[in-house]
Structures are given as structure tokens and as C-alpha cells.
């Protein structure tokens, strides 16, 4: 009985990884579109003092803008939302796949290979450059510089 219960819990946990609860009230919990798409009537259309249209035109324009924006967004998201979600899901899956199976192994391979090159380079520097610079330092060690202020 306990074994069946743990299997059931395991299935629930596995299911929850792929079907997480969605908040239908707060649809932007991380605020990624906070400044981008908040466009209201006042942000697009404004009449300066002295150039006012009729009040009825202004109210109708406001209502038309607001309602058409609302319904056009809903219609576009109904028609294109699911196909674009599939497209973006595929794209991010492809990026993840390339990163996991190509980018990281290439970087690791490069780091392994560069260690070998680094050792050879270090050996060459210590073999050829160290004696040269040590000799140059001994030659230049007896040079004295004196600064005099002439009046």
C-alpha cells in the first residue's frame, strides 16, 4: 500500500514539472512587459489647449481606440498565440539543445586543448625569454639616472 502511494506521489511530481499552475489574474509576474506595451489613448492621442475637437468626437475616439485595441489584441492572440507559442517553444528548445549538446562540449574541448598549448607556450617562454631578459636586466642594472635641477 505504501509503495502504491509513493508511486502515485512520484507520478504527481513528474506531472507537476510539466504542468505548473498558471496565474490567470497576474499574467506578467516578473514584469517583463511593464514599460513596453502599456499604451493608452492618452499616450497616443492628445489635444493641446486651444485645439479641442467636439466632446462627442473625443469620447467616441477614446472608446473606439480602447475597444479596438482590446479586441484586436484578443483576436490576434486567439489566432496567432498558440502557433507562436509552439514556434517560441521550439526555438528555445533548439537553443537549449545546441547549448547542451554543442556549445558546452566545444568550450570544454577548447579548454582541454588550450591547457596543452599553454604548457608548451610556457615552456618556450621559460626556455628562450627568461635567459634573454635576465641577461638584459644584468646589463641594465648598472645604469644610474641622476636628475639635476638647473637654475
* pLDDT score, position 15: 56
Give the per-residue pLDDT at 44: 85
Any domain includes 124: yes
Q: Tell whether 83 is covered by a domain.
A: yes
Domain extent, residue 123, equals 32-142
Q: Please write the tens of the pLDDT for every residue from 103-134.
A: 999 999 999 999 989 999 999 999 999 999 99
Residue 103: CB partners within 8 Å, gap ≥ 6?
A: none
pLDDT band at 22 (very low <50, low <70, confident <90, very high): confident
DSSP SS3 for 95: helix
**pLDDT above 70 (res 10):** no
pLDDT of residue 151: 77
Domain count, the chain: 1
DSSP category for residue 108: H
Query: Is 78 contained in some domain?
Result: yes
Is 104 within a domain?
yes
In a domain? residue 47? yes
Three-state DSSP class for residue 104: helix
Q: Is the pLDDT of residue 16 over 80?
A: no
**Which pTM was predicted?**
0.55
Amino acid at each position: 500500500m505504501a509503495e502504491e502511494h509513493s508511486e502515485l506521489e512520484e507520478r504527481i511530481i513528474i506531472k507537476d514539472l510539466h504542468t505548473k499552475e498558471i496565474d490567470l489574474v497576474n499574467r506578467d509576474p516578473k514584469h517583463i512587459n511593464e514599460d513596453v506595451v502599456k499604451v493608452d489613448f492618452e499616450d497616443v492621442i492628445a489635444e493641446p489647449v486651444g485645439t479641442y475637437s467636439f466632446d462627442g468626437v473625443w469620447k467616441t475616439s477614446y472608446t473606439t481606440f480602447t475597444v479596438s485595441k482590446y479586441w484586436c489584441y484578443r483576436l490576434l492572440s486567439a489566432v496567432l498565440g498558440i502557433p507562436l507559442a509552439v514556434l517560441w517553444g521550439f526555438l528555445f528548445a533548439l537553443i537549449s539543445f545546441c547549448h547542451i549538446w554543442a556549445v558546452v562540449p566545444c568550450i570544454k574541448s577548447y579548454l582541454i586543448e588550450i591547457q596543452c598549448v599553454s604548457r608548451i607556450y610556457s615552456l618556450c617562454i621559460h626556455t628562450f625569454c627568461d635567459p634573454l631578459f635576465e641577461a638584459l636586466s644584468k646589463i641594465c642594472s648598472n645604469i644610474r639616472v641622476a636628475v639635476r635641477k638647473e637654475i
